[in-house]
Amino acid sequence: MPVLASMGSRSVKETLKPLRQGTLSQIETRLGPILPTGCLDNQASKDHSRERLLPLDRTFWCWLWQILQGNTSCREVLKQVAMLFALHGRSIDENSSAYCQSRKLILPGLLQRIYIHIAQAAFCWAPGTNHLQGRRLKALDGTSARLADTPENQAAFPQPESQNPGAGFPVLKMVALFCVASGAILGHATGNLWM
């Protein structure tokens, strides 16, 4: 097994524990340096163009914190933001509506850019190997996830035929190619049950 774990144990529990225990500020400090420079700057126009309570960078870090907490509620995210503001003598309304709206405005293209940057960096940081004539070992894995039950999602990702119409959720299928040495996702594809 040491051959497949050349960088040491990378179990989800061990890897995420320090991040899950981190505050918004700590997560940004730890993970911010690996993001592409300027990727979370406010845009010149349209969404996230003005400095508000939840600009693009704060919304992104809030969303990441929310995911690391096991996809906790938006209300819990706003409690974290309120604590940050309290440290600076300010207070905010803990209504999560503004955060939910701002989170929806994070563009998929931005997330794709961050994903590619981090995957390439992790691939470069991974140690080389003498196995397979120096080639990197890769693994393929797939899974599925239930999506929000919206007409758009039902059309693109229909629920399984075994469920009664209207009684299930849309199902997204995912497959990913991983670098075994770094754990980085090198490529991925999504689709529906009928692909």
Report pLDDT for 49.
Answer: 53
Give the CA-trace dihedral at 168, 172, 178, 184, to 10 degrees.
-100
Indicate the helix (H) or strand (E) that contains 179.
Answer: strand 171-179
Q: Who has greater pLDDT, 9 or 98?
A: 98
Q: Who has greater pLDDT, 56 or 1?
A: 56
pLDDT at 2 over 50: no
In the chain, % of residues over pLDDT 90: 9
- Contact in structure between 170 and 154 (CB atoms under 8 Å): yes
Report pLDDT for 141.
Answer: 93
pLDDT at 30 over 70: yes
Mean pLDDT of 95-123: 86
Report pLDDT for 142.
Answer: 93
- pLDDT tens-digit map of 145-183: 888 888 898 888 887 777 787 777 888 999 999 888 878
For 6-36, letters b (16+ CB in 10 Å) and e give eeeeeeeeeeeeebeebebeebbeeeeeebe
pLDDT at 51 over 70: no
When the pLDDT of each residue in the chain is averaged and rounded to a whole number, the result is 80
pLDDT at 48 over 60: no
